[in-house]
Amino acid sequence: MNMISPDAPKPIVITKNKSQSTKIKPIVDFRTIKVQGGKGGDGCISLRRLPKNPHGGPDGGDGGSGGHVCFKATSNKTSLEHISSLLKGDDGEKGINRDCHGRNAEHLVIEVPVGTMFRSTDGNILADLEVEGAMFIAARGGAGGKGNHYFATDVNQAPEIAEFGADGEELNYTLEIRTIAHVGLIGLPNAGKSTFLRAISRARPKVASYPFTTLQPYVGVVKYDDLQQVTVADIPGLIAGAHRNRGLGIAFLRHIERCLCLLYVVDASLPQPWQQLEVLRYELEQYDSKLLERPSGVLANKMDLHQSKENLNALKSYVDKLNLPLFPVSAQNHLGISSVLHYVRQLYDGSNTEEVLEE
Ligand SMILES: Nc1nc2c(ncn2[C@@H]2O[C@H](COP(=O)(O)OP(=O)(O)OP(=O)(O)O)[C@@H](O)[C@H]2O)c(=O)[nH]1
Ligand SMILES: [Mg+2]
């Protein structure tokens, strides 16, 4: 096992009691929305008549443009729950006489988590906001109409025509967050993924002794004493044949597709626990073989049970062959957790330095 340097950032131990409320909010990572750009303001028809200049000519101003509906990626948001199903940009103001143009509407900018993908109704990916600050204009506002001063010509000095403002675009999208956490927990049902997430964070996914307790992903935050936060996602259990839609299928693996690292949670108390790893890695390969190359670690959970101690050596030799680190833990009794969190932090720091080097 890795030696922990004394200077390494330490995970902060949770001391405050967690809420007893049964209202638990799973993360909203999918939304279908309709966006409407604002309408442009109408142009104005006006002919200037002043006491000393009764034929002052056309002075109807142009309408202002309608506002766009834009999305901006930010790391301050982690879910899509703040996004309503209909988003409408503001309308531009109408033009008025004396050549006063209507005001352009402000664009509506909605913040979404980094890693949000936009798909059209036919399933094509139209935008993928992978970096902080990236923007996507989902619906353009309509242009403002021209006022009658625009239509003045040599032969028609007093035109009584103006344009209406154009309607804004009206489009439907499905939004999906691919990057929900830095670390993904993968395991068979009942391996103890939710118990582990409860032990390391203030998240409260339901824990029970029957399979498929977790039906939607949950995200917990691990805090370190240098104020860095690392997010960990608990996703529903996988079973053999999940890629053929057995159990809950493998569609939810999209949640961990962009995790920096993966932690396989294995119930070490079951006979031949390495078989669980085989199943998990096979299902991952079926989804996307690149997932197997992701930095990973194996948690041998339920080490408080005596069968686990008997199985540990055999599991270790299998995991060594895969060249992965093995962490014996007991999520229920909070044992062996700090070395996992140190390892997670190392991977997190390593991935950040790689990004800097790439830049
Ligand atoms: N003895 C022991 N039991 C554990 C430990 N961790 C989890 N369990 C038990 O294992 C059972 C399943 O735990 P969960 O955390 O719900 O498992 P899960 O992997 O989230 O399961 P699904 O959500 O169904 O995929 C529960 O009854 C837990 O109490 C452990 O370290 N030791
Ligand atoms: Mg669970």
Please report, for the chain, the start and end positions of each structural domain, with discontinuous segments joined by +.
30-177, 183-355
Ligand (nearest to CA of 248): 1
Alpha carbon of 294 to ligand 2 centroid (Å)? 22
Closest Cα to residue 264, out of 283, 245, 277?
277
Alpha carbon of 206 to ligand 1 centroid (Å)? 10
Rg (Cα) of the chain, in Å, rounded? 29
pLDDT in tens, 311-320: 888 888 888 8
pLDDT band at 33 (very low <50, low <70, confident <90, very high): very high
Alpha carbon of 358 to ligand 2 centroid (Å)? 36
Locate the ligand 1 atom nearest the alpha carbon of residue 206 and give its number: 16
pLDDT band at 274 (very low <50, low <70, confident <90, very high): confident
pLDDT given for residue 239 in this prediction: 80
Ligand (nearest to CA of 238): 1
Lowest mean pLDDT among 3-17, 160-174, 196-210: 3-17
Ligand (nearest to CA of 218): 2
pLDDT in tens, 193-220: 999 998 998 888 878 888 887 788 888 8
pLDDT in tens, 280-309: 999 888 888 888 888 899 999 999 998 888
Are the C-beta atoms of 112 and 50 separated by less than 8 Å? Answer: no
Query: Given ligand 1 and candidates 186, 198, 213, 264, which is best to mutate, with the most ligand atoms within 8 Å of its CB?
Result: 213
Closest CA to ligand 1's atom 30: 302
Where do we find the tokens 């956490």? Answer: 181
- Ligand 1 pocket residues where CB is under 6 Å: 187, 189-195, 207-209, 211-214, 236-237, 301-302, 304-305, 330-332
Superfamily (CATH) of domain 183-355:
P-loop containing nucleotide triphosphate hydrolases (3.40.50.300)
pLDDT given for residue 3 in this prediction: 63
Asked if pLDDT for residue 357 goes beyond 60, the answer is: no
Query: Given ligand 1 and candidates 329, 332, 340, which is best to mutate, with the most ligand atoms within 8 Å of its CB?
Result: 332
Are the C-beta atoms of 129 and 114 separated by less than 8 Å? Answer: yes
pLDDT given for residue 112 in this prediction: 93
Closest CA to ligand 1's atom 27: 209
pLDDT band at 150 (very low <50, low <70, confident <90, very high): very high
Q: Please give the order of strands across the beta sheet that includes 229-234.
A: 218-223, 229-234, 183-187, 261-267, 296-301, 326-328
Alpha carbon of 60 to ligand 2 centroid (Å)? 65
* CA end-to-end span of the chain: 32
Ligand (nearest to CA of 185): 1
Are the C-beta atoms of 273 and 311 separated by less than 8 Å? Answer: yes
Asked if pLDDT for residue 22 goes beyond 60, the answer is: yes
With helix as H, strand as E and coil as C, how does the chain read?
CCCCCCCCCCECCCCCCCCCCCCCCCCCCEEEEEEECCCCCCCCCCEEEECCEEEEEECCCCCCCCCCEEEEEECCCCCCCCCCCEEECCCCCCCECCCECCCCCCCEEEEEECCEEEECCCCCEEEEECCCCCEEEEECCCCCCCCHHHHCCCCCCCCCCCCCCCCCCEEEEEEEECCCCCEEEEECCCCCHHHHHHHHCCCCCCCCCCCCCCCCCEEEEEEECCCCEEEEEECCCCCCCHHHCCCCCCHHHHHHCCCCEEEEEEECCCCCCHHHHHHHHHHHHHHCHHHHHCCEEEEEECCCCHHHHHHHHHHHHHHHHCCCCEEECECCCCECHHHHHHHHHHHHHHHHHHHHHHC
Global pTM value: 0.76
Alpha carbon of 330 to ligand 1 centroid (Å)? 10
- Mean pLDDT score, 173-179: 85
Topology adopted by domain 30-177 = Spo0b-associated Gtp-binding Protein; Chain: A, (2.70.210)
pLDDT in tens, 53-94: 888 889 999 999 999 999 999 988 888 989 999 999 999 999
Locate the ligand 1 atom nearest the alpha carbon of residue 335 and give its number: 31
Alpha carbon of 197 to ligand 2 centroid (Å)? 9
Alpha carbon of 188 to ligand 1 centroid (Å)? 10
Asked if pLDDT for residue 355 goes beyond 80, the answer is: no
pLDDT band at 227 (very low <50, low <70, confident <90, very high): confident
